[in-house]
Amino acid sequence: MSVDIETKKLDDFRWVIPKIGKMRTEGLVYADEAMLAAIKKDASLEQVANVACLPGIVGRSMAMPDIHWGYGFPIGGVAAFDMDDGIVSPGGVGYDINCGVRLLRSDLDAADIRGQIPALVNALFRNIPCGVGSRRKDLKLSAQQMRDVLVKGAKWAVSRGYGSTEDLEHIEDGGCIAGADPDNVSDRAYKRGKDQIATLGSGNHFVEVGYVEEVYDEAAARILSLHKDQVTVIVHTGSRGFGHQVCDDYIKLLLSASAKYKIDLPDKQLCCAPLSSKESRQYLSAMACAANFAFCNRQVIAHWVRETFQEIFRMGPKDLGLDLIYDVCHNIAKIETHEVDGKKRKLCVHRKGATRAFPPHSELIPEDYKEIGQPVLIPGDMGRYSYVLVGTETALKETFGSTCHGAGRVMSRHQAQKIAKGRAIVRELEDRGIYVRGAGKGTIREEISEAYKDVRDVVNVVHEAGIGKKVARLKPMGVIKG
């Protein structure tokens, strides 16, 4: 297909890509006019159209406002497939399986800790391994322990004293995706992942200490135990080298499967297998292993965040009140039941760089959030702000309960390095009241604010389109970067 993809305006925040060629359905992009013009500069709209060509797609091939080019599916892509004649594609999940975000609230106020932010950030940087190949020497898993992590996810961490059972109530899927089978994971993946539990990794992963700068929905914020000027912590990381290897292994297998089942691919990066096939079952079980690895990873990191706060502020857990608000997946494929044309259907929903956003009274969200809907956590860049939203009925009807996952890159890491050359990025951030530590200067240069869309614009689109509802904005004070 041509990169010059036609779009037709539905309203100020929705654009349709009409069916052409081998597309089985339309594309739907959530963006405002200025954002769409920027999106058209890469091949991500072509990827939306390509996804629409895949067998068994149900509804439209969709893209959230943080869309940018990815492997196979665009990052920010959402698509659902029928269980009988549809497919599963590793390109619709991504390499960092269950890259996700968790948010902790606290009983501290920003003014009370601002002077101690450098000490806190340095301690977090010391206690949480960051960077490529990072590992923590005092947490090494035996082969059996690793298998247990892959099956039990965050539940394994809690059973070992890393957090509490209350945490599990506020993690998507209770911190454990069913169907994981460690026998479907390669030795190479085990080797890459065995020493990487509780490590932040590299790239855009981070731990951020911030505060509630603005509240938009007082009632929802109250249920989430959020209030203005309150200290918060965001943890953003995923399945590390383990998930990357799982994806790499199954791209090779599903390339063969695509040929075996005579699936006409518009792009080899969309390699896939029928959901009824042995290959798809193998991939979904290995993907669940990687997702559970990521849940466990964030759970242990959050435990060390709590320990670090206790160390710096010399306060006990009850006084700190570092409770988990929620933990969400970004890169995942899930078997879910949705209403389509008035009938309930079981579908495989791919969310790649997209967040589940289920509405109030959904059976799949915690009991204490039933009134407001699922918390949706949208991190921005290290120099601006992040957002807390809740899911909506509109999202459930239009996007299979999905919304954006972050700001979305607008330039490559190489471009960001070039623009940041000669600048003292750390000093620039300190001048704005944000203390940053990174595994290297290169990592920090790659993650400058200019490398991302302004997450305020992204969140405004999903809020105005009704596929997410704003609750609060969080401003960073201190960040550690992978």
**Burial class of residue 378, CB neighbours in 10 A (0-12, 13-18, 19+):** buried
Q: How far is CA 369 from CA 122, 169, 219, 334, 375, in A?
A: 34, 11, 12, 21, 8
Q: What share of the chain is helix, strand, coil (3-state, %, to 5)?
A: 40, 25, 35
Q: Which is the catalytic residue, given 170, 405, 414, 463?
A: 405
CA-based end-to-end distance of the chain: 37
Helices marked H in 314-363: 317-320
> What phi and psi values does residue 20 have, to the nearest 5 degrees?
-140, 160
405 labelled catalytic? yes
Owner of token pair 């200019």: 450
201 class by beta-carbon count within 10 Å (0-12 exposed, 13-18 middle, 19+ buried): buried
Residue 372: count other Cβ atoms within 10 Å of its Cβ: 22
The closest alpha carbon to 124, from 303, 382, 387, 314, belongs to 303
Across-strand partners of 88?
273
- Give, as one character, the DSSP assignment of residue 3: S
**Sequence-distant contacts of 374-377: CB under 8 A, at least 24 apart:** 374/326, 375/103, 375/224, 375/325, 375/326, 375/328, 375/471, 376/328, 376/403, 376/468, 377/101, 377/102, 377/103, 377/234, 377/326, 377/328
DSSP-derived letter for residue 372 is T
Distance from the Cα of residue 93 to its chain's centroid: 11
| Residues 153/292, Cβ–Cβ less than 8 Å | yes
For 114, phi then psi, to 5°, come to -55, -40
Q: Which residues are catalytic?
A: 405
